[in-house]
Amino acid sequence: MPPAAPDSMKSAAAAQTPVVLDLDASVGALPGALRLDLRDWHDRLRFACSQRALARFGERLEQTLPARHGCAFLGSGDFHHLSLPLIRRAARAHGRLQVVVFDNHPDNMRFPLAIHCGSWVAKVAALPQVARVHVVGITSTDIGLAHAWENRLRPLYRGKLRYWSSQVAVGWARRLGLGAAVRSHASVDAALDAFLAEIETGRDPIYLSIDKDVLRPEDAMTNWDQGQMRADALLAAVARLRPRIVASDVTGEISIAAYPQWWKRALAAADGQSPPDADALRLWQAQQHRVNLRLLSALG
């Protein structure tokens, strides 16, 4: 019989074990992953939920997640607000954090009385352990002039949040004295390079959150309007950040949403979501799976 692995080796292996929070059956089989069946939470959490529901889900995670684990895969970008309890958990474990979010959208929009996949970043920026949230790769008009009023400005003014965007008209931010917080670049590659040059001057641990809608549809089709980042560029950036990453999550899978709540159906339709047909869904999920495997490799 071979000798038992030392506890330090077991601990290191546990820290690298990916976790699938299986809410919508969209994440394919990942090598060595722990899969938690959470589909009973799908209808309550998808797209939006109450603060109480998210707090209860956070309690469920505390009961079921191992103390140490690798990247958490959350399913569709409709669940990106579930990053909030994961980041709270990381902040308790590691203290001061930089939070890096690769996303085509700011996820910092106003959404009264509840929280949804486009409003959670302001809550993260308010955490005392979070030094700054960087949202990288934005090409969405969510930060354009027409939607400027929907963005929560307080975390931008306080220096707790920074947008790294390209090809969006953000002159409004400069006029409001937010030019340092809302960065505009000629291309998504230029925005990524500028972000990396800044983040690499620091030493804080990093929580990494990736919504694959930051990528071109050719690289990974998602449920949302998409950005222009190439998968190769994203993976290269993850590799550069890797030495400081202490926790991470990935969203942006594609799946079919059947919202039981009329108001979720209305809001999703207003955001341009439309269900894919079954054949396209299989092809796109296979494409997504290939990206997930590459992300796991980049994260180590």
Copy the structure tokens of residue 212: 């694959």
- Kindly state whether residue 52 falls inside one of the protein's structural domains: yes
Contact 229, 216 (CB under 8 A): yes
Domain limits for position 107: 17-299
273, pLDDT greater than 70:
no
Residues 88-131: pLDDT tens digits?
A: 999 999 999 999 999 999 999 999 889 999 999 999 999 999 99
Report the C-alpha gap between 76 and 257 in whole angstroms: 9
Average pLDDT, the chain: 92
Which pTM value belongs to this model? 0.93
- Kindly state whether residue 41 falls inside one of the protein's structural domains: yes
Q: Kindly report the CA angle at 231 between 82 and 223, in degrees rounded to 5?
A: 45
Closest alpha carbon to 81 in 37, 114, 38: 114
Q: What's residue 189's pLDDT?
A: 98
CATH number at residue 238: 3.40.800.10
- Kindly state whether residue 83 falls inside one of the protein's structural domains: yes
Of residues 10 and 265, the one with the higher pLDDT is 265
Kindly report the backbone phi and psi dihedral angles of residue 51, in degrees, each rounded to the nearest multiple of 5, phi listed first: -60, -35
- Kindly state whether residue 78 falls inside one of the protein's structural domains: yes
- Kindly state whether residue 203 falls inside one of the protein's structural domains: yes
Strands 48-49 and 115-116: antiparallel
Residues 211-250: pLDDT tens digits?
A: 999 999 999 999 888 999 999 999 999 999 999 999 999 9
153, pLDDT greater than 70:
yes
Residues 46-93: pLDDT tens digits?
A: 999 999 999 999 999 999 999 999 999 999 999 999 999 999 999 999
Strand, helix or coil for residue 152: coil
Report the C-alpha gap between 37 and 75 in whole angstroms: 12
- What's the number of domains the chain is made of? 1
- Kindly state whether residue 260 falls inside one of the protein's structural domains: yes
The shares of helix, strand and coil residues in the chain, as percent rounded to the nearest 5, are 45, 20, 35
Q: What's residue 272's pLDDT?
A: 64
- Kindly state whether residue 10 falls inside one of the protein's structural domains: no
Q: What's residue 14's pLDDT?
A: 56
Contact 129, 207 (CB under 8 A): no
- Kindly state whether residue 6 falls inside one of the protein's structural domains: no
